[in-house]
Amino acid sequence: MTLKTGGCLCGAIRYEIDAEFMGVAVCHCRDCQYASGGGPNFIAMAPRDSVRFVEGEPKRYDRPGGSGATVGRVFCPDCGTPLLSDIGAPFLAVKLAAWTTRPT
Ligand SMILES: [Zn+2]
Ligand SMILES: [Zn+2]
């Protein structure tokens, strides 16, 4: 088991993920292109309960996705780094760029 830690570009937001990822995925939808800045959105699926914010208070923007279900996009209010998406599933879609792994 490894504890994964991550956060935003400016360092205001830090989080920990205390579980193995359930998988990785790539989303090419139009909304994700906004979040990624142009390319597809690379995400890792982390069990919902395993993600906790340990520093800072992220902001969340909710909008219906392609399926009609609400997609919550969580980001740093200071530097704008996209951190994760919440599609109401048992997992949270964590942006691959924002986390690192260290042994525990
Ligand atoms: Zn930030
Ligand atoms: Zn998408």
pLDDT at 66 (0 to 100): 82
| Cβ(43)–Cβ(32) below 8 Å | no
**pLDDT, the chain, mean:** 90
Looking at all shown ligands, the one closest to residue 82's CA atom is: 1
* pLDDT band for position 104 (cuts 50, 70, 90): very low
- Please give the structure tokens belonging to residue 94: 């964590």
What residue ranges do the domains of the chain occupy? 2-98
CB 77 within 8 A of CB 9: no
Which ligand neighbours the alpha carbon of 10 most closely? Answer: 1
81 CA from centroid of ligand 1 (Å)? 6
What is the Cα 50 distance to its own chain's centre?
12
Per-residue pLDDT band for 94 (boundaries 50, 70, 90) equals: very high
Query: Any idea which ligand is nearest the CA of 8?
Result: 1
CATH class of the domain comprising 2-98: mainly beta
Q: What is the pLDDT of residue 101?
A: 58
1 pLDDT band, cuts 50/70/90, is low
Bridge pairing between strands 82-86 and 70-75: antiparallel
Q: What is the DSSP letter of 37?
A: T
Q: What pLDDT score does 22 carry?
A: 95
Give residue 62 CA to ligand 2 midpoint distance, Å: 13
